Amino acid sequence: MAAGADGAHSPIAQFEIKSLVPLRLFGFDTSFTNSALFMIIAVALISAFLIMSMRGRSLVPTRMQSVAEVFYEFVANTVRDNVGQEGMKFFPLVFSLFVFVLICNVVGLVPGAFTVTSHIVVTAALALLVIGIVIVYGVATQGTHFLKLFVPDVPPALLPLMVPIEVISFLSRPLSLSVRLFANMLAGHIALKIFAGFVGSLLAAGVWGIISPLPLLLTIALTALELLVAVLQAYVFAVLTCVYLNDAVHGAHH
């Protein structure tokens, strides 16, 4: 059991932020870390893929180009379905959020890689960005009418009850948006690490090594499941972003 007990094999060691290049800006520690490295890797992968694949700009797409187009159409349809044609001004934002979360999640599944989205501060920042845009755009285009969002169509007697509920539900949006993604990534990676750790521990435990293929098989199955979760959570994040943006664009039409 010695191999499983040291720090490097702790299930939470994979979430450690390690400084690669120390840097101080504006009085804060903004060191270039493994997290920053994987953010940059994700952005580089996405940009390289989307820009390279469209180099030909052919009418009959190449394989790479059609993949890029599938991504585009998929997100564009999600925005159109949830927000409508006026929502297309937010299309670059939703697309960036979707591919960023998706690629960070998927790259994080590579053994040894760091999962940017397993940190609550990252997912919270993205969620607050979305809610911030919803509030700013909603107030800018609808003014005080935007506050109608908190006043549902109910008998006036119920309003003292309903308005606080609506306010709490609105405030819980960034919370649920960020925690959902963070918790899914965190839990999935911990589970993977624990089961993968069993393989090593069992192999090191003499005769128990015979049953070591069992956690290995489980790890393989979990990896497939985590791939699904990685894609699904990116999609959920994008869809919920669209749903919230719909309030900013169309106001309260419950």
Q: In the complex, which residues of this chain contact other proteins (CB under 8 A)?
A: 7, 10, 12-13, 15-22, 24-25, 28-33, 35-36, 39-40, 42-43, 46-47, 50-51, 54, 57-59, 61, 65, 68-69, 72-73, 91-93, 95-96, 99-100, 116, 118-122, 125-126, 182, 186
Residues 169, 170, 174, 176: what is their CA dihedral angle, to the nearest 10 degrees?
Answer: 20
* Torsions phi, psi for 170 (to 5 deg): -70, -45
Q: How far is the CB of 114 from other proteins (least distance, A)?
A: 10
Which CB, 142 or 184, lies closer to other proteins?
184
60-89: burial string, b at 16+ Cβ within 10 Å, e else: ebeeebeebeebeeebbebbeebbeeebee
Which CB, 28 or 144, lies closer to other proteins?
28
In angstroms, rounded to a whole number, what is the distance separating the alpha carbons of residues 4 and 73? Answer: 46
Which CB, 19 or 169, lies closer to other proteins?
19
In angstroms, rounded to a whole number, what is the distance separating the alpha carbons of residues 96 and 176? Answer: 20
Which CB, 15 or 235, lies closer to other proteins?
15
Q: How far is the CB of 152 from other proteins (least distance, A)?
A: 34
Q: How far is the CB of 65 from other proteins (least distance, A)?
A: 8
Q: Residue 199: how many CB atoms within 10 A of its CB?
A: 20
Transcribe 48-84 into DSSP letters: HHHHHHTSS--SS--HHHHHHHHHHHHHHHHHHHHH-
Q: How far is the CB of 134 from other proteins (least distance, A)?
A: 17
Q: How far is the CB of 205 from other proteins (least distance, A)?
A: 23
* Torsions phi, psi for 203 (to 5 deg): -60, -35
Which CB, 128 or 139, lies closer to other proteins?
128
Q: How far is the CB of 190 from other proteins (least distance, A)?
A: 11
Which CB, 101 or 202, lies closer to other proteins?
101
